[in-house]
Chain A
Amino acid sequence: MRKSGLRGSYLTKGLLILGGIVMIFPFFWMVSSSLKNTAEAFATPPTLIPKAATLDNYRHVMTNLDLPRLFFNSISVSVTVTVIQVLTSAMAGYAFARLHFRGKKFLFLVYLMTMMVPMQVIIVPLFIEMRQLHLLDSLLGLGLPMVVSAFGVFFMRQAMTGIPMEIEEAALLDGASHIRIFRSIALPLTIPALSALTILAFMSVWNAFLWPLVEIFSPEKMTLPLGLANLQGEHSTDWPMVMAGTTLAVIPVILVYVGFQKHITQSFLTAGLKG
């Protein structure tokens, strides 16, 4: 390699590392701030590592927020919605990919068209509907609309279309029913797509903010994002305490991300539509 090329590559690496610091530093700063007392947190020049580290902020955030409750609500809604969404998407996807029946094209077109309607557009009628059903301020009312995923059906249909015909024909000849083929052939053969959809569905429910904001009012029914948002004060905010809250909330995210990094980035790629 020529010398200028070598220098160029050092420059590139230097810039890439600088970029990496810009991405990671805010997380470091979050943890660092959460361990400082108010005076140190607001001091100029700031200290990178707390001089007098304290856990007071964590104590405060635990008294201000029922974090175990928030975690429990978030987990139960996310898990339930994800399981139902993935399962129903796989079922419909199988029917659209492998079965011939009247009205199939039209039905699928309906799914495709609804893919373009985001929650933001129907938020007001959805609120009214939940009020009619007496499901406002309930985890059931929170979860129900999030079960719907035209995208999931579309995505699973793509995956199910890829299964070789011969396997299915052989199974049909052996007298297996479609339900049986779905369970013991289609599902196992589409595990990569299923896991991608599971990751995306779980993340979108776990991080959901707008619908929970509209649907839930009582603190004991809030999900983690709502609870955290409420840490901001009306007039002034106890930032070190807020950072303690966000630190506690981000730890499981980072652990899961480190553990499933390949799967997570892959699912963003294969089904990248969710941004």
Chain B
Amino acid sequence: MKRNARVASALIAPSFIPLIAFLILPMIAAVCLSFASWDLLSPIQWIGLGNFKELFTHSIFYKSLFHSLVFIAGYLPLVYFLGLAAALGLNKKFRGSSFLRAAYFLPVVTSWVIVSLLWKWILNPNGGIVNSFLHVLGIQGPGWWTSPTWAMPSVIIASVWKDMGYVMLILLSGLQSIPPEYQEAAAMDGASKRQILFKITLPLLTPATFFVIVISLINNFQVFDQIYLMTGGGPDGSTSVLVQQIVKNAFDYGRSGFAAAMSMMLFIILLAITLIQIRLQKRWVNYA
């Protein structure tokens, strides 16, 4: 047993020491910092709950939370239904189906910087291909990422395009874990294709659906790259989300305490989603 402990600590230490140094300590520091006012240069000042008070009375926090919700409300249904359609269509093999799968997945492995720049150019108000195309049809295209109304839809379009292949992959593996006998038996009993889809396939797909929703929620509250690169939170703050506000407050406005308080709120949101997930998982997920 004693020897085991020595071996175990030798095996665990190389990952545990960095874990303490670069995750646990910073997390503790973030909690402390959220009770302080500090521009990162002059002496630190403890202000108790001041940051949180400001957070809940000031509109910037609610605004960025609202933008995150708008993003999710646009993104999640689109990415889910497109991913589901692709998964249902590509579930059976046919000539070219593996090529299509690969094509749908390619944006997933491409970095956000490339995807953001590419979509900014595609949706460029002047000379972008989408607006040029609309122009040929006689339609005056919108300003996309330069317009307060269209900036969020632009980010959503790029995000759906990038993530759809991932959702497809998860749902495909969910579809493949459904025993084909179920669908065959239903077909033998005279069930229509639609009935099979809605009464058998989709209910049995709930674990995969649940996973997609939870993972999307967790990721979407942390959205930063595409916002920073495509709109910088603008125009007019129309796309400013939580993480972008954290970075702005800490490094542009010298308000690291306020930024840490927002980080805490982000953490609480993620924690809540995880806890809800653990509770719901037992109830509404239909394990075959």
Q: Is the CB of B86 within 8 A of A16?
A: yes
- CB pair B129–A46 under 8 Å, yes or no, is yes
Of B53-61, B63-71, B266-274, the one touching chain A: B266-274
Task: Please name the residue on chain B nearest to A95 by beta carbon.
Answer: B11
Most chain B beta-carbon neighbours within 10 Å: one of A16, A20, A243 = A16
B188 in contact (CB, < 8 A): no
Q: Is there a chain B Cβ closer than 8 Å to A17's Cβ? A: yes
Query: Judging by beta carbons under 8 Å apart, are B8 and A45 in contact?
Result: no
Residues in chain A near residue B11, CB distance under 8 A: 91-92, 94-95, 99, 178, 182
A124 touches B246 (CB 8 A): yes
Q: Mark B108-135, 1 if CB is under 8 A from A, else 0.
A: 1111111001111110101101001101
The digit string for B85-112, where 1 denotes a CB below 8 A from any CB of A, is: 1100110001011011011111111111
Q: Main SS of chain B's interface residues?
A: helix
A122-B27, A265-B105 are known contacts. Are A214 and B247 too (CB-CB below 8 A)?
yes
Which residues of chain B are near A121, meaning CB under 8 Å?
A: 27, 30, 263-264, 266-267, 270
Instruction: Give min CB distance, B268 to chain A, whole Å.
Output: 10
CA distance A26 to B114 in the complex (A): 11
CB-CB under 8 A from B169, the residues of chain A are 265, 268-269, 272
Judge if B288 is at the interface, Cβ distance under 8 Å.
no
With an 8 A cutoff between CB atoms, is B49 at the interface?
no
Question: Which chain A residues (81-121) contact chain B, with CB distance < 8 Å?
Answer: 87-89, 91-92, 94-96, 99-102, 104, 107, 110-111, 114, 116-118, 120-121
**Which A residues are in CB contact (< 8 Å) with B82?**
19
CA distance A41 to B165 in the complex (A): 29
**Residue B256 is within 8 A (CB to CB) of chain A in the complex:** yes
> Counting CB contacts under 8 A, is B42 at the interface?
no
B139 within 8 A of A: no
A159 within 8 A of B: no
Structural contact, B250 and A41, CB atoms closer than 8 A: no
Is B109 within 8 A of A203, CB to CB?
yes
* B195 at the binding interface (Cβ < 8 Å): no
A89-B15, A273-B215 known; A16-B4 Cβ under 8 A: no
- Select from chain A the residue with minimum beta-carbon distance to B121: A239
In the complex, A153 has a CB within 8 A of chain B: yes
A169 CB-CB contact with B under 8 Å: no
**Dominant secondary structure at the A interface:** helix
Q: Please pick, from B4, B107, B118, B263, the residue contacting A246 in the complex, using a CB distance under 8 A.
A: B118
Q: A89-B15, A148-B23 are in contact. Are A20 and B103 (CB under 8 A)?
A: yes
Residues of the A chain whose Cβ atoms lie less than 8 Å from the Cβ of B89: 12-13, 15-16
Of B108, B117, B165, which contacts A232 at CB under 8 A?
A: B117
Q: Which residue of A lies closest to B275 (CB)?
A: A116
Chain A, interface size category, equals 35 or more
Chain B minimum-CB-distance residue to A156: B15
Q: How far is B8's CA from A46's CA once the two chains are assembled, in angstroms?
A: 64
In the complex where A95-B12, A128-B40, A229-B113 touch, is A120 in contact with B22 (Cβ < 8 A)? no
Q: Once the chains are docked, how many angstroms separate the CA of A41 from the CA of B136?
A: 16
Q: What residue of chain A has the Cβ atom nearest to residue B224's Cβ?
A: A210
A269 / chain B contacts, CB cutoff of 8 Å: 169-170, 173
- Is A122's CB under 8 angstroms from B173's CB? no
Q: Verify A257–B106 contact, CB threshold 8 A.
A: yes
Interface check A249, CB cutoff 8 A? yes
Interface contact B270-A118, CB-CB below 8 Å: yes
Give the Cβ gap from B165 to chain A, nearest Cβ, in Å: 7
A52 at the interface (CB under 8 A from B): no
Residue of B nearest to A38 (CB): B127
Q: Shortest Cβ distance from B110 into chain A, in angstroms?
A: 6
Q: Are A122 and B263 in contact (CB under 8 A)?
A: yes
Q: Are B251 and A214 in contact (CB under 8 A)?
A: yes
A42 on the B face (CB < 8 A): yes
Residue among A13, A20, A42, A102 with the most chain B CB within 10 A? Answer: A20
In the complex, chain B residues 1-56 whose Cβ is within 8 Å of any chain A Cβ: 1, 4-5, 7-9, 11-12, 14-16, 18-19, 21-27, 29-30, 33, 40
The answer to whether A17 touches B250, judged by C-beta atoms less than 8 angstroms apart, is: no
Enumerate chain A residues within 8 angstroms of B26, measured Cβ to Cβ.
122, 125-126, 129
Residues on A with C-beta less than 8 A from B165 are 23
- Give Cα distance in the complex from A13 to B94, angstroms: 9
A272 close to B110 (CB less than 8 A) = no
Closest B residue to A256 by beta carbon equals: B109
Of A23, A88, A128, which contacts B161 at CB under 8 A? A23
* B23 x A114 contact (CB < 8 A): yes
Task: Give the Cβ gap from A86 to chain B, nearest Cβ, in Å.
Answer: 11
Taking the closest CB of chain B, its distance from the CB of A256, in whole angstroms, is 8
B-contacting residues, A215-251, CB 8 Å: 224-225, 228-229, 231-232, 237, 239, 242-243, 246, 249-250
Between A and B, 14 residue pairs with Cβ closer than 8 Å are A16-B89, A44-B127, A104-B8, A122-B26, A122-B27, A123-B250, A125-B25, A203-B109, A228-B117, A246-B114, A253-B109, A254-B106, A261-B105, A275-B163
Q: Which 10 A-B residue pairings sit nearest by Cβ, starting from the closest?
A: A42-B127, A125-B29, A88-B15, A125-B26, A122-B26, A207-B111, A95-B11, A145-B22, A225-B113, A101-B8
